[in-house]
Amino acid sequence: MDRPELLAYLEGLDNALRAQATLYIYGSAACILLGEPDRTSLDVDVAGPYSDVDQGDLRYLLTQGAVDIADVEAAVTRLPVPFALDPLVRENLHNLKADMEMWRGGLT
């Protein structure tokens, strides 16, 4: 992902959210946004505990098909081996999949 792709992605996310949100981005994505021309990234690292996002909005986006779990699973397989096989990454992926199934089923 380069700067124009990242900006387009974040603008799309911003337009899709119903409420105002603040995301604290770090890692390579932050460097890309700051204009480092040689940086690339496969993902966007968000400091969740410091960000302010309406959880209902995230659930809404997920249930509207804005995010497909197969795409997330594919992205995880593209991570470098230490991360792709990391137990915490795998557990988070499992939990996200279970949450998405629950949200799409209409359970709260």
Q: What is the pLDDT of residues 48-91, one digit of tens each?
A: 778 898 888 877 777 776 677 888 888 888 888 888 888 988 88
Residues 6+ apart with CB under 8 A from 29: 1, 6, 41, 43, 44, 45
Per-residue pLDDT, 13: 84
Q: What is the mean pLDDT of the chain?
A: 83
Per-residue pLDDT, 106: 56
Q: Where are the domains of the chain?
A: 1-53, 68-108
Per-residue pLDDT, 7: 92
The residue ranking higher by pLDDT, 81 or 35, is: 35
Q: Are 44 and 67 in contact (CB under 8 A)?
A: no
The yes-or-no verdict on residue 108 having pLDDT over 50 is no
Tokens of 18: 């119903």
The yes-or-no verdict on residue 33 having pLDDT over 90 is yes
pLDDT band at 47 (very low <50, low <70, confident <90, very high): confident
The yes-or-no verdict on residue 4 having pLDDT over 50 is yes
